[in-house]
Amino acid sequence: MATTSIFEARCVVIGGGPAGMMLGFLLARAGVRVIVLEKHADFLRDFRGDTIHPSTFELMHELGLLDQFLQIPHQELSRMKYIFDGHVVCMADFSRLPTKCKFMGFMPQWHFLNFLAAQAKQFPAFELRMESRVVDLLRDGDRIAGVRAKTPLGDLEVRADLVVGCDGRNSIVRQLAKLEIKEVGVPIDVVWMHISKRDRDPEQLFGFFARGKGLGLIDRGDYFQAAFVIPKGGIEKIKERGLSALHDDIVALASFLKDRIAELDDWSKIKLLTVQINRLQKWCREGLLCIGDAAHAMSPAAGVGINLAIQDAVAAANVLAVKLKAGTISIADLAAVQKRREWPTRLIQAMQASVHRYTIARIMIVNALRWLPGLQFLTARFIGIGPRPEHVRSPTA
């Protein structure tokens, strides 16, 4: 008969993405016994966001980890430039931000998560269990009292005072907890692909937009991670038109890719990512809290999702660490995390939704940035630091 291993912790975090790893690290640092369950065997997954914002570098500085963190190979971008209908527009100028790092970093997310995991493992209160896929919640009356997970070695139960769902936009935790979701419609999806990079390529431009079409390019050293925007649900139409039509659309936006676009010679090299913007009405119930994309799925616009997930984790640790350690956590504490983070989330989602939906909003933003360069500092603040920035206040044990 299969056996079930049983563990206990003050907190069990579901999902080892940016939100979960940061929260696990901060709680362990505060001496709270925490177990992070991640369904994959490693962090090595492609097509995840890569951006590290100035505010995340600032948090690393507050944690005394910045020098070490900057040793990880990454690219730095102090001005986020796009081409709109042939005009280069600087969307955000990070160079004058009041932060230690005045740039946005591009670092493969698996390096970032491995770094957080390595730091967290230095604390005895921390445990990371990979290949542990949560399938159910444990209940004690109305209170959520832990989770059940499947692993290659059998079933696992973790009983905890608090379950934190950091399992992303398809969160099973929020689904099992029956937390209600409010969808904010988005009219786009994105197809992702790798396109090789050449020495003579132009300086890094973040995106190319013309005639209602858009292409994002993230520099990953010897290749670009490219994102081509398509109408929502439009992948079958794109496939019907054929690969060469897709090549033409991409080259029409970034002509320097013409000499290598034929690399995309099979649909298996092109992945569809469905874009969602949504948020929970209530982020918590007795014994359970959701943060990051599990509480509010973000679109890739301006690459702010990782930053927001990290900010949620810092806020949650600030509010909860001491009480979790003392075993006095209450629903009011969990609601306080939502209260703190909901307003910045709503503001950023409203910005993302209007940029996706209204051509007029895009044109107004682009023209304002072209004619009033001072605004590039405000957009840098909004994107690079975000509304209501968090600072590490949770204690070190």
Ligand X SMILES: Cc1cc2nc3c(=O)[nH]c(=O)nc-3n(C[C@H](O)[C@H](O)[C@H](O)COP(=O)(O)OP(=O)(O)OC[C@H]3O[C@@H](n4cnc5c(N)ncnc54)[C@H](O)[C@@H]3O)c2cc1C
Q: Which two tokens stand for residue 161?
A: 């005072």
Position among 25, 50, 376, 385 found at the interface with ligand X (CB under 6 A): 50
* Residue closer to ligand X (CB basis): 51 or 376: 51
How many residues bind ligand X (CB under 6 A)? The answer is 35
* Residue closer to ligand X (CB basis): 305 or 384: 305
DSSP count for the chain of H helices, then E strands: 11, 20
- Kindly state whether residue 16 participates in binding ligand X, applying the rule CB under 6 A: yes
- Kindly state whether residue 194 participates in binding ligand X, applying the rule CB under 6 A: no
Q: Quote the CA–CA distance of 20 and 18 in Å, as a whole number.
A: 6
Residue window 117-136: x/- pattern of binding to ligand X, with contact defined by CB under 6 A? ----------------xx--
Q: Quote the CA–CA distance of 105 and 103 in Å, as a whole number.
A: 6
* Residue closer to ligand X (CB basis): 80 or 275: 275
How far apart, in Å, are the Cα atoms of 68 and each of 63, 64, 94, 102?
11, 9, 22, 17
Minimum CB separation of residue 355 from ligand X in Å reads 14
Q: Quote the CA–CA distance of 39 and 166 in Å, as a whole number.
A: 12
Q: Which stretch binds ligand X (CB under 6 A): 33-41, 76-84, 152-160, 242-250?
A: 33-41
Please enumerate in sequence order all residues whose Cβ is within 8 A of that of 243, keeping only pairs 6 or more positions apart, or say none.
Answer: 264, 265, 266, 267
* Residue closer to ligand X (CB basis): 219 or 293: 293
Position among 303, 344, 384, 389 found at the interface with ligand X (CB under 6 A): 303
- Kindly state whether residue 386 participates in binding ligand X, applying the rule CB under 6 A: no
Provide the pairing of β-strand 133-140 with 213-219: unpaired
Q: Quote the CA–CA distance of 135 and 140 in Å, as a whole number.
A: 17
- Kindly state whether residue 9 participates in binding ligand X, applying the rule CB under 6 A: no
Position among 58, 93, 167, 333 found at the interface with ligand X (CB under 6 A): 167
Which of left, alpha, beta for 261 (phi over 0: left; psi -120 to 50: alpha)? alpha
Task: State the CB neighbour count (10 A cutoff) for residue 158.
Answer: 26
Residue bearing tokens 């929020």? 174
Q: Which two tokens stand for residue 93?
A: 């100028």
Position among 48, 81, 341, 381 found at the interface with ligand X (CB under 6 A): 48
Q: Which two tokens stand for residue 24?
A: 């696990």
- Kindly state whether residue 40 participates in binding ligand X, applying the rule CB under 6 A: yes
- Kindly state whether residue 311 participates in binding ligand X, applying the rule CB under 6 A: no
- Kindly state whether residue 189 participates in binding ligand X, applying the rule CB under 6 A: no
Q: What are the residues binding ligand X (CB under 6 A)?
A: 14-20, 37-40, 48-51, 133-134, 166-168, 172, 190, 273, 275, 292-294, 298, 300, 303-307, 309
